Structure 1
Amino acid sequence: MLTLKTRLLFLFLLITCYAQSQTTDAFLPGDPLPDAPELAARGTYGVGVRTLKLTHKAQVDVLRTKDGKSPVYDRPLTLEVWYPARIPAGKAQRVTYEEVLGRANDPKRPLVPFSFTGRALRDAEPDAGGGAYPLVIVSHGYPGSRFLLTYLTENLASKGYVVVAIDHTESTYRDLGGFPSTLLNRPLDDLFVLDELTRLSAKTSSHFLAGLANTDKTALIGYSMGGYGVLNVAGAGFSAQAAKFFGQLTGGSTALQTRTMAAPDYKASQDPRIKAVVAFAPWGMERGVWDAEGLAGLKLPTMFVAGSKDDVSGYEKGIKAIYDGAVNADRYLLTYINARHNVAPNPPPAAALKPGHFDDYQHFSEPAWNERRINNINQHFVTAFLGIHLKGMDYAKYLALPENSDAESWTGFKPRTSVGLEMRHAKP
């Protein structure tokens, strides 16, 4: 027989657990905290989401290179597309994303399925009332997935963008393969997806994207190895040292040479449809992936986002060195002081908070920062940057800031909240 005290304690625990579950469900990745900067708020469009399957035919299968020769394969790509949508009356913008913790082929970190909720409606009718919307292509880290930045993808779709996030084959949690595949395929995947979205969004297409995306106004967003890839697509050709490093990893493959600054066809691959780039913690500079000539090839408006203590991509000799070397680009560098590498992902999912998942938790977390706070700040600045370059919006005041946020309150931030940040800006 339970005592009254025990019953009351049990009831209290039940109420507490219920309240916590309700709070967790109500506050989803990307929702604005009370101190979120101005442009972090969602836009006026409803958000739909759909999954697409594509195949990039006859690609170099660098993971099966032997004696310097590589077979070819049909490379599958899964995309998640968020877009402005019409939300029927009485329908909630809720979607369940299915994801995993762990790493494929690593017995020490087995795959653990989990799900989390987002603010979008699966298969909603597109909102064609806004005409064709600018396109944003999002590229995750190594490993990662198309769901790694849903706080940002959903937010941008609500502001009138078609946003496409790529599952880079052999680079996701579920199918993690050798690093050379990531080194070679990141820029190739990005360009292929841009071409496919152009085809699918043509007005004569029978696809749901017909007339919905304006790929002549495209931005690329990449995180870590995704940042490596989008910078190369945007004009930062790889160095001869990068091609040599790639050959050593693969047993003699020369496939990466086509993406070097010296390659005859590289400059011709620069795509005029791409208008702007956002690179979160791009990897590669400390490994000699770019030299001065390669960085000078970056001429598109670019926003870099970094942590001053990044121990994966490096800061002074890594991301900041890329920013300094991109002398022909109108560029920004947003720095989170004392942050490490994880300045882009969603907050750690609930599954990563359980005992035994410290490595998975560290994959998302920042020791000195609140990840939801980082998410809101990213939403604010990416909205301003893409609004200027893809939509011609008058958002310049949000980027014309004192370098040190501690010295003077930044425009768009609530009083006493613009702390621990730096914003650099340089023009060609």
Structure 2
Amino acid sequence: MSSGFSRMRTLILALEYPHRASYYDDWRDAFCDSPQLECAFANILSLQPRELARRLEEHDAVIMLHSCNSDTLEFLAPLAPVLGARKRARLLTFVGNEFNSPYVSLIDKVRLFREARCDIVATQLLEEAGRFLYADSGAEVVSIPHALNPRAFRPGPEHAARRLDLGVRGYRYPPYLGDDDRNRLLDFFRSNAARMGLVVDIAHDRRLGREGWAQFLADCRGTLSTETGSWYLDRDDALVRRVYAHMAARRSGLVIGNQSVLRRAARRLPSPVKAALAAVLKRGPIKFEVFEDDNVPFAELYEAFFRTAPRPPVYGKAVSSRHFDAVGTKTCQIMVRGRFNDILTAEEHYIGVDASLADAAEAVRRFRDDGLRQAMADAAYEHVMSAHTYAHRARDVVRALG
């Protein structure tokens, strides 16, 4: 290190409570490992405004991770005025759950970004989509999608030594997104695996931690996925408000709201306690609105709202951290064709299928070609390692912050 080199003193803000997505750790690790950054960390779950004000004076830059605004704005809201009053630190915020959620208002997110005087909004979406959504934030919008953590997701054994043909762990996508491509893809392969001669382990009622997920992928020759995001991005939440009102009218009995005091308290519980509580709420008689809404038939919402809803002038889907996790373990992916942030290309980095699944049999035929499948997994790995690791993304953030 030259004598003139100065590391950027950077405060990393995240919302950490028991049970969170592993990619939050990947981003944090990447920034802490960056030779260009000198990082400190603060959990906004318990961060007081006065303490934040003091710490802002000690740093050149602030990075807010996706967790700060993904599934609640409760903890960011009291800190936004403090961030907005800072004197010099540059502020970059990532955005979690970049779709119109019935429970976290996009309008409120953008308002808080503006109140916090964010210099940069880093979207997971294509840059044109980010500019469309966050035009009123007052910030520069840059596209910085997820990436590969090669230390956590390393190449697994050769495909012949893996136990499963296809494996999936995750949750079903909710009906209010407006498309069910991913759910139909998983249901199709789970229902037709025996007929197609495939050994599968597909569960979409739970997720694994980072280490367990990496081990699971390394035991699979392939996995199934689609892009994340939504075809129905809407800057004013108008469509999703109508959908929410419809879902609310269907509920009956005693239902706990997602923004209730009880829900806020539950966020602080350990994961095993949360899991037990969720099991109770799914059986009743006391219910939780998110679980109730997840059970609304997709066809009902699609026919009532999405079939005739106009789509925005931008592409609202994106590559996910899970796609990179599979690439890292050299697990071949069968995915509904999409742009994937123009990073992953069908038939070069993954086996593509149409959303209708009309060509699923051909995709399976290609997947069962051992040489083709391994070559595709190898090509995806080399491509991602060359330009799409979290170390690459950390450098992008440093450049954006100046």
Q: TM-score range by the shorter chain?
A: under 0.3
Higher strand share: 1
Higher helix share: 2
Q: TM-score, normalised by structure 2?
A: 0.27
Task: Tell me: higher relative CO, structure 1 or 2? Use CA pairs within 8 A at least 6 residues apart.
Answer: 2
